[in-house]
Amino acid sequence: MTETLLETAAQAQERDRYTIEQEGIPSPVLMENAARALCSLLESRLVAGSRILILCGPGSNGQDGLAMHRILQEHGWDTAAYCPPGQSLQRRILENRGIPVLTSLTQICALAESLGPDDWIVDAMFGSGLSRPLEGTWHTLTEAANGSAARILAVDVPSGMDGETGPLPGAVIQADLTACIGTRKLGTVLPAALPLTGEVTTLDIGLGNPNTPRTVFELTASKARTCLPVRPLLSWKGTFGKVLMAGGSRRMHGAIEMSARACFHAGPGLLTVAVPEILQPAMRCVLPEAMLLDLPGDPDCISEEAVPAILHAARDMNVVSAGNGMGRQEGTRTLVQDLLQKTDVTLVLDADALSVLDPHWLHRPGGQTILTPHPGEFSRITGWSVSDITANPVKAAQEFTRAYPDTVLVLKGAITCVSEHGQVWVLARPDSSLAKGGSGDMLCGIITGLAASQNPLEAALCGVWAHNQAPLCSKKDPAAFGPQDLVDALSDVWKSLREGRDL
Ligand X SMILES: NC(=O)C1=CN([C@@H]2O[C@H](COP(=O)(O)OP(=O)(O)OC[C@H]3O[C@@H](n4cnc5c(N)ncnc54)[C@H](OP(=O)(O)O)[C@@H]3O)[C@@H](O)[C@H]2O)[C@@H](O)CC1
Q: Which of 416, 453, 454, 496 binds ligand ADP (CB under 6 A)?
A: 416
What element of type H or E holds 402? helix 393-403
CB 415 within 8 A of CB 325: no
Q: Which of 39, 81, 101, 134 binds ligand X (CB under 6 A)?
A: 134
Q: Which of 39, 434, 446, 451 binds ligand ADP (CB under 6 A)?
A: 434
Considering only residues 295 through 354, tell me which ones interact with ligand ADP, judged by CB under 6 A. Answer: 351
156 vs 352 by CB, closer to ligand ADP: 352
Under rule CB under 6 A, residue 437 binds ligand ADP: yes
155 vs 207 by CB, closer to K ion: 155
Under rule CB under 6 A, residue 438 binds ligand ADP: yes
155 vs 193 by CB, closer to K ion: 155
Residue 437 burial (CB count, 10 A): 10
Under rule CB under 6 A, residue 413 binds ligand ADP: yes
Residue 255 annotated as part of some ligand binding site = yes
CA distance 68 to 71: 5
Residue 413 annotated as part of some ligand binding site = yes
Q: Which of 8, 63, 146, 159 binds K ion (CB under 5 A)?
A: 159
Under rule CB under 6 A, residue 87 binds ligand X: no
- The minimum distance between CB 56 and ligand X, in angstroms, equals 9
Under rule CB under 6 A, residue 59 binds ligand X: yes
CA distance 347 to 367: 8
Under rule CB under 6 A, residue 448 binds ligand ADP: no
CB 378 within 8 A of CB 351: no
Under DSSP, is residue 49 helix (H, G, I), strand (E, B) or coil?
Answer: coil
Tell me the β-bridge partners of 104.
Answer: none
Q: Which of 192, 391, 414, 503 binds ligand ADP (CB under 6 A)?
A: 414
Name which of K ion, ligand ADP, ligand X, none residue 407 binds, using a CB cut-off of 5 to 8 Å depending on partner kind.
Answer: none
121 vs 356 by CB, closer to K ion: 121
Considering only 80-88, 119-127, 192-200, 245-253, which stretch makes contact with K ion by CB under 5 A?
Answer: 119-127
Q: Say which residues have a Cβ less than 8 Å from residue 481's Cβ, sequence separation at least 6.
A: 433, 434, 471, 474
Considering only residues 461 through 480, tell me which ones interact with ligand ADP, judged by CB under 6 A. Answer: 467-468
Q: Say which residues have a Cβ less than 8 Å from residue 493's Cβ, sequence separation at least 6.
A: 466, 469, 470, 473, 503
Q: Between the CA of residue 90 and those of 32, 81, 279, what are the distances in Å? A: 10, 12, 72
Under rule CB under 6 A, residue 350 binds ligand X: no
- Residue 424 — left, alpha, or beta (φ > 0 → left; ψ -120 to 50 → alpha)? beta
What element of type H or E holds 352? helix 352-355
CA distance 158 to 173: 5
CB 418 within 8 A of CB 438: no
Name which of K ion, ligand ADP, ligand X, none residue 221 binds, using a CB cut-off of 5 to 8 Å depending on partner kind.
Answer: none
Q: Between the CA of residue 153 and those of 12, 62, 267, what are the distances in Å? A: 20, 13, 43
- Three-state SS letters, 306-343: HHHHHHHHHCCCCEEEECCCCCCCHHHHHHHHHHHHHC
CB 411 within 8 A of CB 419: yes
Residue 60 annotated as part of some ligand binding site = yes
Under rule CB under 5 A, residue 162 binds K ion: no
Residue 133 annotated as part of some ligand binding site = yes
Residue 414 annotated as part of some ligand binding site = yes
Considering only 200-208, 290-298, 387-395, 440-448, which stretch makes contact with ligand ADP by CB under 6 A?
Answer: 440-448
CB 315 within 8 A of CB 262: no
CB 322 within 8 A of CB 246: yes
CB 65 within 8 A of CB 81: yes
Interface ranges with ligand ADP (CB under 6 A): 351, 374, 412-414, 416, 430-432, 434-435, 437-441, 443, 467-468
Interface ranges with K ion (CB under 5 A): 123, 154-155, 159
Instruction: List binding-site positions for (6S)-NADPHX.
Output: 60-64, 127-133, 156, 255, 325, 374, 441
Interface ranges with ligand X (CB under 6 A): 13, 16, 20, 27, 30-31, 34, 57-62, 64, 126-132, 134, 138, 155-156, 181, 205
